[in-house]
Amino acid sequence: MSEPGGPDGPDCLYDVDGHVATLTLNRPHRRNAISFQMLGLLTEHLTAAERDRGVRCVIVTGAGKGFCSGLDLQDAAAGTGIGGSGTGGGGLGNTRDLPTVVLNEMDTPVIAAINGAAAGYGLDLALGCDIRLIAESARLLPGFAKRGVVPESGGTWYLPRLVGWARACEIGFLGRDLDANESERFGLVNRVVPDADLLPTAQAWAAEIAANAPLAVQAMKRLYRHGLTEDFASHTHHVLLQVMHLFGTKDFAEGVNSFMEKRDPEFQGR
């Protein structure tokens, strides 16, 4: 089994610049295939970003030429990686500690900058992000059925909600590779971006999100998530309660004042 992170340090890097945190999957020698250390660091960094009041948006991307090639099949075949223990779970612990579960429960917006192939777990990870930007040369590889498994980390939940039942069945049952333009046409990504512009575009979107009122953005994401399982009457009741809370914040006052004064707002998240 390779050393954690190979020649380039930890399996997942974490950097905060201003109000934007960037998580970089960092096993480029394995196209950022998932390792035990990467899972742990992803959970740790996503949790840190969610708890940091200064972080208003997160970018998830990959080092090198790949976004994430899924579970490391080389290590699994050798009995040293995830899925290689012969116990079915491959040594995984409580599902609530998995990064895809943490990602789903976050109120902080998350952008996936898909710089290369996203396969298996990597595809589920991308689908769990709120916004997906994809490089022109990148591909989504939903080939679970060709490997004798199912999308194990959220894909079976996200796909029907993102693209509808029939399209989800088409994507999952056929298991065909999807290029960037097909991914956009299917509604799996927000925008196809030239390779060289991918990260700058993700950073620009993140900065624009971070410039908005963070309490309102987080509340909006939380309400979107709850709205997936609520009836309309219950949901509008919860929206009203949230709006009344936001009316009492300094950010709301700043939003009104900046509009009246014809200037850019300076939100503090309070």
Report the C-alpha gap between 181 and 199 in whole angstroms.
18
Q: What is the mean pLDDT of residues 36-40?
A: 90
Rounded to 5°, angle at Cα 200 from 195 and 202: 95
Residues 74/81, Cβ–Cβ less than 8 Å: yes
Rounded to 5°, angle at Cα 206 from 204 and 208: 70
Residue 62 has φ and ψ, to the nearest 5°, of -125, 150
pLDDT at 4: 47
Domains of the chain: 6-211 (3.90.226.10), 214-260 (1.10.12)
Q: What is the pLDDT of residues 140-191, one digit of tens each?
A: 999 888 877 777 788 889 999 999 999 999 999 999 999 999 999 999 999 9
pLDDT range class, residue 3, cuts 50, 70, 90: very low
Residues 55/21, Cβ–Cβ less than 8 Å: yes
Place of tokens 């799996």: 188
Report the C-alpha gap between 123 and 81 in whole angstroms.
19
pTM for this model (two decimals): 0.89
